[in-house]
Structure 1
């Protein structure tokens, strides 16, 4: 699996043990503070690499220490960062995520260089030979440019997938609509599907997205698992029972596991099971790069 992950790259700072924001200038001791590579392209890239794919990331970062840290973390995971351009006038995208004892995770986020990434920053010749292109955050490119990129990927024989970062809203769906006919696999969460379509059920909403052009819609449902919908079929795969530490990056992990499963020849159910099993690894630690797992260990976990 030779995959280009294109789009949003973020450095996450997780803070564990937050019960409240201290008053005035008071301080508070916490359990853990940890950096991790994240984003609908960056986080997915890390997990795909752990699952044995050969991954090159494309996107935009700044020239700041945040970028240095993010690039180092991606490289440590075996992700090629050759496709990441550096924009001196902008900071690297970053988030601070305080995780409460009950697992809630509000966030502060800076869009930074992600908002400045365009197709002009991507050398299409660098995509030659890929078997897959995953676009995370098409809303930053806009539907027309995203559609052009996905169409090019298909023209060179690659499978395409799309993961939207923004919350579900009909206007957002209209903004990225031009990309859907060039998308083999759309990977939203349940709130996005219902928000995009106004449907009463997830299955109905996913069917609407298939009707809008997506070949297959694989929807994450948090603790309920995943729903996979095509023009001909609807199937549901349950999540695995685990002790959840932090759900940050679980959607990206599902995407990586699902896509990797397809690359290995699994059917939609088998790929969704691998996606849920991969997400379970991430949920048991902090961030997308939590813990230590491989394709073999995730397959063993899924088969238990």
Structure 2
């Protein structure tokens, strides 16, 4: 299955705050917030939503096609991704801008405050998906994750026009884009991914009812944090999947990207919706136990043992038969 993953490619600057962010907020002064957090740790890691997803796919033996824009400082990062099975030949390199930067502070309750500098990402709007499809012999699915807003709209429109199935994953850009733009991103998606907060924000932004959204997409997957996720569609009963219990908690950055990677790997292997989501939840749990969105590893036997423990031996056997 030829999966093109479009979206951000970035360097993550991850910081840990030993207190609670909420304790620093004064209810009647939120219009004049001016805060500085003295953090204990700083980790600089590879990240970006599209890069994280493709890394996870590579870890599961699937070759994904990364589509995004970077700066000339991308060489070392490119080598890293290619060593982990990612095709980077369709990545656009800017001659003038740096690769994007993500800066995130996480408190002791795993709440986060983050900023994102787009840099070269603004040139992603110049990328044509047809050139990717021509190079690899077609596209079976296009993932449209958080990116330059104009690039997201262009990739979505081109997918509809050329008949490429697409997964809409607007993520953080829901807070920035207006209702008309969000409607353009969602309509016709084979799959729509949001978290619980984004679920409500999407309804508010588009002005659509819940039922109207379900009428415009194939399946709407909503992640619910530790409670797992639910899948809704206009043509099938609601499906809920609970993740395996984590052994420890690391940095949550990139956990949602690992979920999507596992889900896509399941689809690539011909698994059904439920099994693909079980695979995604297991990879997300492995990611949660590790500090950093691309620092986890997948050891086949222990990974399948976790699937068996959470979902039964039949699930592990079926999923294991599809994993390289």
TM-score (norm 2): 0.78
Q: 2:170·2:185 contact (CA, 8 Å) conserved in 1? A: no
Residue 235 (str. 1) matches residue 239 (str. 2): yes
Q: Which of the pair has more CA radius of gyration?
A: 2
**Larger displacement relative to structure 2 (129-138 or 254-263):** 129-138
| Alpha-carbon offset, residue 282 of structure 1 | 0.6
Q: 2:17·2:38 contact (CA, 8 Å) conserved in 1? A: no
CA deviation profile, 1:134-179 (whole Å, cap 9, x unmatched) = 1212662366523333225635xxx421211325459644203234
**Uncovered stretches (5+) of structure 1, i.e. residues with no partner:** none
Q: Provide the residue aligned with 1:101 in structure 2.
A: 108
CA deviation profile, 1:221-250 (whole Å, cap 9, x unmatched) = 111111101112211112322122111111
Q: 1:13·1:33 contact (CA, 8 Å) conserved in 2? A: yes
- For residues 110 and 164 of structure 1, the distance between their equivalents in structure 2, rounded to whole angstroms, comes to 17
Residue 33 (str. 1) matches residue 40 (str. 2): no
CA deviation profile, 1:243-263 (whole Å, cap 9, x unmatched) = 221111111111111122223
Corresponding residue to 2:82 among 72, 75, 91: 75
CA deviation profile, 1:173-210 (whole Å, cap 9, x unmatched) = 420323434421111111111111149xxxx73x4422
Q: 1:6·1:133 contact (CA, 8 Å) conserved in 2? A: yes
Q: Provide the residue aligned with 1:15 in structure 2.
A: 15
- For residues 28 and 263 of structure 1, the distance between their equivalents in structure 2, rounded to whole angstroms, comes to 41
Corresponding residue to 1:188 among 194, 201, 207: 194
Listed as ranges, the matches of 1:185-264 within 5 Å are: 185-198=191-204, 205=210, 207-211=211-215, 213-233=216-236, 234-242=238-246, 243-264=248-269
- For residues 125 and 304 of structure 2, the distance between their equivalents in structure 1, rounded to whole angstroms, comes to 37
Q: 1:170·1:195 contact (CA, 8 Å) conserved in 2? A: no
Q: 2:72·2:99 contact (CA, 8 Å) conserved in 1? A: yes
Residue 166 (str. 1) matches residue 176 (str. 2): no
Q: 1:185·1:218 contact (CA, 8 Å) conserved in 2? A: yes
Measured at CA, do residues 97 and 20 of structure 1 come closer, stay the same or move farther in structure 2, by a change above 3 Å? Answer: same
**Uncovered stretches (5+) of structure 2, i.e. residues with no partner:** 22-35, 310-324
Matched residues, number: 288
Q: 2:144·2:156 contact (CA, 8 Å) conserved in 1? A: no
**Larger displacement relative to structure 2 (3-12 or 259-268):** 259-268
Q: 2:57·2:64 contact (CA, 8 Å) conserved in 1? A: yes
Listed as ranges, the matches of 1:53-202 within 5 Å are: 53-64=62-73, 67-120=74-127, 122=129, 123-124=131-132, 125-137=134-146, 140-141=149-150, 144-151=153-160, 154-155=163-164, 159-166=165-172, 168=174, 172-198=178-204
- TM-align CA RMSD: 3.0
Q: 2:11·2:47 contact (CA, 8 Å) conserved in 1? A: yes
Q: 2:9·2:70 contact (CA, 8 Å) conserved in 1? A: yes
- For residues 167 and 73 of structure 1, the distance between their equivalents in structure 2, rounded to whole angstroms, comes to 27
Residue 303 (str. 1) matches residue 317 (str. 2): no
Residue 290 (str. 1) matches residue 318 (str. 2): no
Measured at CA, do residues 28 and 174 of structure 1 come closer, stay the same or move farther in structure 2, by a change above 3 Å? Answer: closer
